[in-house]
Structure 1
């Protein structure tokens, strides 16, 4: 191979998807390519013209313009174009114009088709590009079969047999026989096909044998009524966390009103032993803040492990959030050991990203306390001490304080149910700047510990106000448009121009936050009480707020941007740096840059639709 062909081979080997080709194919390919030079302004292919080549940009830049003269994309070095016409054999749908003096390598259609037929990686790359969906990018950067089972398995994949049930009037003797016959340690108790209780072998030992009750005792006398249940879509890891915090070994699985079966601790133990489950177990065994901080220091390593195993960004965020929840609950328990029992019912709630199940590396604290009634002076002092202990403890565990002081240590974020309901009524009916900020954050509230009914009552009250408040919705729409994707007029990245993050993209402010804002508005406008961005998008899809297509595209964009950020943060942690949201686009592959631009373009399109819909309402 002469020197020129060797240089071309090295160039191909450095760019996708040619880099995935076998060495022998790479060695033979340069001789089949044609090198052509185009001066600035030259037309490579005209709209409607035939095209028999795939163009690979060696140097310069090429504008891809549609039939209406709109710039669709500017190709960068290493990227290919001319795909649609070379794949279909039909006329070109685009005008290809040299934006600068340009050198291209041209792959003939025959050679292109041979590679499509012989290389699955090559084929997948261009089929994904042709499809033009972000979801293809997510699939390509992640191996579906990879990943920790405890991180990725959902309850529906564990529960494979029909539920084994008895009725409340069944005798414990018969119930014990059923357990023995089916070799199970618990039975579900149903009445008229509705779940009313659960009976475990522990119940039989503690309430029948130990107390000397007769074998004729009905199950209703010894069962645990109204058991906590999980949905089939719940992650196995979340079930493990729930079992750990409550001391349960069995949880019923229900889909709406339909009883599907039961998941047990043994089911979870049969999954691979992933680090997150081990970490939560360690958290539950700690008796000091210092011990919790030591365990929490392992959390970045758990995230890195999950990322290496190709868990989705959404699932890793749920794992991180569940661990943060476990730390919070343990801190509350340790606090009560010294403070004594709570003087009144309360609920500790998470806000912001933790409330949405979307916390991650670098997340700060956003939390509050909901009290059942207006506290006495003595009770107020107790709750202040609790909040101080927990917030200080979370800070020691690696969760920084909220810069805006949205934490339970502030008296205004430690209120009774009635006071919280008044706050929401004011924020939603009088959407001033501060009120909007507070409403957005607190509409993401979720119970972490204590009386969950208090949080549910406050959240339901707030959510019910939104559909009937078009002015508030309009202001939320305006807020969603404030966070602009970092994409210029010519689809170039718009990077930070000053400060510590010069030449970097802010993936949070320009990518994730606007999607969170749009999803929140669209979901709340329908009266949905969902808090996670994914669930909000699913609930709003097909409504007047958001089309099915836009909801799906935003969900794909949210996952892809989150995945790019996650990989960036894992690299930062490995290098001994703090995790942040800023990434240098030159550190990304052409594939990642291209799909990141597409994700930003999707956000911009939906923002424009919001601006159109709410333009007459904002005052």
Structure 2
């Protein structure tokens, strides 16, 4: 098979997997359809698909699976949203599922959280893990009417030091509706932040804070056994991109929320220097490629995907790329650091 034919077949497999998820008529069918996600991701990696495109395909499949699980556990008056990496369309097989819900007036929240717990139990059985930090529709914090969400956002931006405000605003800024077409959260976080300099500065300080260092040797110069490039590199880039994007007032409400799209907009608007945006975008793609390669190797070995790269098992080139990316991101972060 030619390279172009192999790539076309891999893309076709994504579409077929998406349709199987949409058409799943019961729990067993959904579980079977979700089992196809990993082979699809492996297939995309085999034909050297960009890690950015692989992540977008993975997120779309997870969103489709979530939509189908919600449909199999129907609850009137509830609109679901995915948050985090799935909401940004940059999840990988190691990613968990974070959710929130907007409920119609008069809908009893306790009933919705029970509904959310049932949906996430089904997704967990299908191999899609719930967020361990409990950003889930099964928790009351993540289930509100549109008016209550609006009031909460107003409270968080007016008092950003209280009630995990920065975390909640960041989660909502990454949200995407589970239904089709994908839509942003009904409360515009950017608009809410526009006149709240204190909240924006706090988000800036959080985005440019010191992240855990990527160490290939410990303080005694012994080689460490594993490194986590998500915690040490990717999270910093994601946070910076989100912050500089929220600082810009001229972003359409339906603009893409992926990290590369945010960095591109920030450079175009002048919110981020071209060199800094390019440095962060290149580091993001390189480290995502390393993460994806590691995770696909684990999937091939019938092991769960994770972000713990064994240092002894990585090549000198990979270690060099990781170390260089970490240094470059740290340099950009320090240049942007808020006081």
Structure 2-normalised TM-score?
0.88
**Greater relative contact order (Cα 8 A, min sep 6): structure 1 or 2?**
2
What secondary structure sits across from 1:347 in the alignment?
A: strand
- Report the equivalent of 2:243: 521
Q: What are the residue-to-residue correspondences of 1:220-259 with 2, within 5 Å?
A: none
Q: What are the residue-to-residue correspondences of 1:294-373 with 2, within 5 Å?
A: 294-336=32-74, 342=76, 344=77, 346-371=78-103, 373=104
> Contact 1:408–1:414 (CA<8 Å) still a contact in 2?
yes
- Report the equivalent of 1:422: 151
Structure 2 CA distance for aligned equivalents of residues 311 and 596 of structure 1:
20
Q: What are the residue-to-residue correspondences of 1:259-274 with 2, within 5 Å?
A: 274=12
Deviations 1:473-499 (Å, cap 9, x if unpaired)?
Answer: 2222322234536356xxxx35699xx
What secondary structure sits across from 1:349 in the alignment?
A: strand
Aligned pair count?
A: 330
The structure with the largest helix share of the pair is: 2
> Contact 1:486–1:494 (CA<8 Å) still a contact in 2?
no
Structure 1 CA distance for aligned equivalents of residues 330 and 23 of structure 2:
47
Structure 1 CA distance for aligned equivalents of residues 191 and 143 of structure 2:
22
The structure with the largest strand share of the pair is: 1
- Asked whether 1:558 is paired with 2:318, we answer no
Deviations 1:89-114 (Å, cap 9, x if unpaired)?
Answer: xxxxxxxxxxxxxxxxxxxxxxxxxx
Structure 2 CA distance for aligned equivalents of residues 277 and 307 of structure 1:
16
What secondary structure sits across from 1:457 in the alignment?
A: coil
> Contact 2:116–2:137 (CA<8 Å) still a contact in 1?
yes
Q: What are the residue-to-residue correspondences of 1:544-583 with 2, within 5 Å?
A: 544-583=270-309
Please state how far the C-alpha of 1:413 moved relative to its aligned partner: 1.1
What secondary structure sits across from 1:415 in the alignment?
A: strand
Q: Alpha carbons of 1:147 and 1:589: their partners in 2 closer, same or farther (altered >3 Å)?
A: farther
Q: Alpha carbons of 1:548 and 1:294: their partners in 2 closer, same or farther (altered >3 Å)?
A: same
Structure 2 CA distance for aligned equivalents of residues 402 and 465 of structure 1:
26
Any stretches of 5+ residues in structure 2 without a counterpart?
A: none
What secondary structure sits across from 1:449 in the alignment?
A: coil
Structure 2 CA distance for aligned equivalents of residues 596 and 543 of structure 1:
29
- Report the equivalent of 1:410: 139
> Contact 1:147–1:311 (CA<8 Å) still a contact in 2?
no
Any stretches of 5+ residues in structure 1 without a counterpart?
A: 1-143, 152-236, 238-273
Q: Alpha carbons of 1:468 and 1:302: their partners in 2 closer, same or farther (altered >3 Å)?
A: same
Q: Alpha carbons of 1:466 and 1:389: their partners in 2 closer, same or farther (altered >3 Å)?
A: same
Q: Which of the pair has more CA radius of gyration?
A: 1
Please state how far the C-alpha of 1:450 moved relative to its aligned partner: 7.2
Q: Give the one of 444, 453, 464 matched to 2:174.
A: 444
Structure 2 CA distance for aligned equivalents of residues 145 and 604 of structure 1:
38
Q: Alpha carbons of 1:593 and 1:293: their partners in 2 closer, same or farther (altered >3 Å)?
A: same
Structure 1 CA distance for aligned equivalents of residues 151 and 194 of structure 2:
17
Structure 1-normalised TM-score?
0.50
> Contact 1:496–1:504 (CA<8 Å) still a contact in 2?
no
